[in-house]
């Protein structure tokens, strides 16, 4: 347990020292609140069922944080560690692979929750955003969605030979999802063609699930999203475990 806790703490510090991942996790979502809040405010709108633009953006920006951790933090760090020989050194120690992977997952989920708390604080202070769900239910959903997205990130990191390749692949996946899934721009204002494209993006289902639970829906009202994200989690984790390389 001590090894696990120490390694988790080290992974947290290393994550914070990575400027790109830290910026997109902790700073970029609040900046989006400032930018779009200044443009659209948070007045109730029929387009969002009587809620404001910032109200519906809180769970969407949380999904953005999840995607940032999964597609920028995880694969680039893993590829960099493999390239620098860090993973090979871990393999040579008494540390079990399971301990390393679990500590990395926990560190990434903690960064996600920290980013989410900062985002909500900014949204509430500036626009008094509304929350109608259950806090515990939403936290469980964030962890579930984080594991699902991270399974894809670990898959990319497992097959990428180095950090540069991992970065290119991650960016190619990340940016289209960021702007087309509803995480950055609400799906309600997008054309029908874009909505059809969004239905093929995993992050779209994260946005829909978090938005639903954020505003008081039950898990039973989001069985499709839960099933798709569960499939991604199982499939991605199984492939990542099979293809994972220490060196």
Q: Does residue 224 surpass a pLDDT of 90?
A: yes
Predicted confidence at residue 97, as pLDDT, reads 61
Task: Give how many domains the chain has, as a whole number.
Answer: 1
Half-sphere exposure of 41 (CA within 13 A, CB side): 3
Predicted confidence at residue 138, as pLDDT, reads 92
State the residue range of the domain holding 130: 2-243
Predicted confidence at residue 80, as pLDDT, reads 77
Give the chain's mean pLDDT. Answer: 84
pLDDT digits (tens, 9 = 90+) for 14-60: 777 777 777 777 887 888 888 887 777 788 888 788 888 888 888 98
Q: Does residue 233 surpass a pLDDT of 90?
A: yes
pLDDT digits (tens, 9 = 90+) for 141-162: 999 999 999 889 888 888 887 8
Q: Does residue 96 surpass a pLDDT of 70?
A: no
Q: Whole-model pTM?
A: 0.87
**Overall average pLDDT of the 88-95 stretch:** 68
């Amino acid at each position: 347990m001590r090894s696990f806790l120490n390694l988790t703490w080290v992974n947290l510090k290393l994550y914070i020292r990575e400027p790109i991942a830290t910026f997109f996790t902790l700073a970029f979502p609040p900046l989006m609140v400032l930018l779009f809040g200044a443009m659209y405010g948070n007045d109730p709108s029929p387009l969002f069922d009587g809620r404001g633009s910032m109200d519906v953006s809180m769970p969407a920006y949380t999904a953005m944080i999840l995607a940032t951790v999964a597609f920028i933090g995880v694969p680039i760090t893993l590829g960099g560690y493999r390239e620098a020989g860090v993973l090979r050194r871990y393999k040579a120690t008494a540390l079990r692979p399971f301990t390393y992977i679990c500590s990395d997952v926990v560190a990434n989920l903690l960064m996600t929750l920290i980013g989410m708390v900062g985002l909500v604080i900014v949204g509430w202070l500036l626009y008094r955003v509304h929350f109608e769900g259950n806090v515990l239910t939403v936290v469980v959903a964030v962890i579930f969605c984080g594991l699902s997205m991270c399974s894809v990130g670990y898959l990319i990191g497992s097959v990428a030979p180095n950090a540069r390749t991992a970065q290119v692949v991650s960016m190619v996946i990340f940016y289209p999802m960021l702007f087309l899934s509803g995480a950055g721009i609400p799906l309600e204002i997008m054309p029908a063609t874009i909505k059809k494209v969004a239905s093929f993006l995993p992050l779209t289902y994260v946005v829909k699930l978090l938005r639903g639970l954020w505003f008081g829906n039950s898990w039973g009202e989001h069985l499709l999203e839960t099933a798709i994200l569960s499939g991604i989690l199982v499939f991605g984790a199984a492939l990542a475990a099979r293809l994972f390389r220490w060196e």
